[in-house]
């Protein structure tokens, strides 16, 4: 057997290890057949027959990929399922728990659409807020958990604090006595003292000492009493 033919067989034998078992057996039978054929027909005829056999075996291998084995033998390879990380559920913010910022008589009713008379400005105007009476220096508390958005002294409304709450809610406290108890960015809890009753509101100076209190959701004014009543019904 010529040396070059022997090298060709050794190089191709590695490929045979990955073929189906029946193709491998057929190839070994063909090798014995090629040896005999080489002795009778010559080297080139035997090489042509061997290449034709390898092409047939490769075609059979491609037609049955599901039967390929890992490492050239044994059971077929099982499909590896990639484990996807489970999504982390996002925290759902709890609805706001409302408390009155000050317990007292309502001096100024909520009137978003119907104008009411202002004794200080001597004119009819809407009033999308509640004016709650209180004693000088009486504690004013946050109406719900939230973050202090701003605290400033307004020319008309006096000392004012705005607090942002969950779900787009915001509360505003005006006419306060002091701005020293909280600063913008502070986290506050429902019922936490944020200031005290004052009389710093120039546009409501003719009224008795009180808290001017507004609540909005996404910028739209809301009557706070509706929120409290709805909360009370939900807990009954």
Tell me the C-alpha distance between 102 and 105, whole Å.
9
Band of residue 33 on the pLDDT scale cut at 50, 70, 90: low
Please identify which residue in the block is written with the tokens 């808290």: 211
pLDDT in tens, 55-72: 555 555 455 544 444 444
**Mean pLDDT of all residues in 205-209:** 95
In this prediction, residue 169 carries a pLDDT of 98
- Answer yes or no: are the C-beta atoms of 57 and 21 closer than 8 Å: no
**Mean pLDDT of all residues in 78-100:** 63
- Map residue 208 onto helix, strand or coil: coil
**Mean pLDDT of all residues in 99-126:** 95
Band of residue 236 on the pLDDT scale cut at 50, 70, 90: confident
**What are the DSSP calls for 164-176, one per residue?**
E-GGGEEEEEEEE
Higher pLDDT among residues 18 and 118, named by residue: 118
> What residue ranges in the chain does DSSP mark as E strands?
106-108, 111-118, 123-127, 130-133, 139-141, 146-154, 158-164, 169-176, 187-188, 193-196, 210-217, 220-221
Percentage of the chain beyond pLDDT 70 is 60
Answer whether residue 78 shows pLDDT above 60: no
Domains of the chain: 3-72 (no CATH), 106-235 (2.70.70.10)
Side-chain-side CA neighbours of residue 122 (13 Å): 0
133 to 52, 151, 160, 210: CA distances (angstroms): 104, 21, 16, 4
User: CB under 8 Å to 15, separation ≥6 — which residues?
Assistant: 54
- Answer yes or no: are the C-beta atoms of 146 and 188 closer than 8 Å: yes
Band of residue 126 on the pLDDT scale cut at 50, 70, 90: very high
pLDDT in tens, 131-176: 999 999 999 999 999 999 999 999 999 999 999 999 999 999 999 9
Most distant pair of Cα atoms in the chain: their distance? 127
What residues pair up with 159 in beta bridges, in sequence order?
153, 176
pLDDT in tens, 116-125: 999 999 999 9
Token pair for 64: 């049955």
- Map residue 69 onto helix, strand or coil: strand
Q: How far is CA 149 from the centre of its chain?
A: 24
Higher pLDDT among residues 162 and 78, named by residue: 162
End-to-end C-alpha distance for the chain, whole angstroms: 101
Side-chain-side CA neighbours of residue 8 (13 Å): 15
């Amino acid at each position: 057997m010529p040396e070059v033919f022997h090298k060709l067989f050794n190089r191709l034998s590695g490929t045979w290890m990955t073929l189906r078992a029946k193709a491998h057996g057929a190839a070994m039978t063909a090798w014995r057949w090629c040896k005999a054929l080489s002795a009778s027909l010559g080297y080139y005829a035997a090489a042509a027959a061997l290449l034709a056999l390898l092409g047939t075996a490769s075609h059979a291998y491609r037609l049955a990929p599901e039967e390929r084995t890992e490492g050239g033998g044994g059971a077929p390879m099982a499909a590896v399922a990639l484990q996807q990380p489970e999504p982390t559920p996002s925290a759902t913010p709890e609805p706001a728990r409302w408390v009155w910022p000050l317990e007292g008589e309502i001096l100024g009713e909520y009137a978003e659409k119907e104008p009411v008379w202002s004794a200080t400005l001597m004119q009819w105007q809407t009033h999308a807020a509640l004016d709650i009476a209180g004693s000088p220096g009486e504690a004013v508390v946050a109406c719900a958990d939230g973050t202090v958005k701003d605290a400033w002294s307004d020319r008309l409304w006096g000392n004012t604090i705005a607090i942002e709450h969950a779900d787009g809610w915001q509360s505003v406290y005006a006419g306060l006595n002091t701005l020293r108890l909280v600063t913008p960015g502070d986290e506050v809890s429902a019922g936490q003292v944020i200031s005290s009753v004052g009389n710093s509101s120039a546009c409501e100076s003719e009224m008795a000492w009180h808290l001017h209190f507004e609540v909005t959701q996404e910028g739209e004014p809301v009557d706070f009493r509706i929120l409290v009543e709805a909360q009370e019904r939900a807990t009954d």
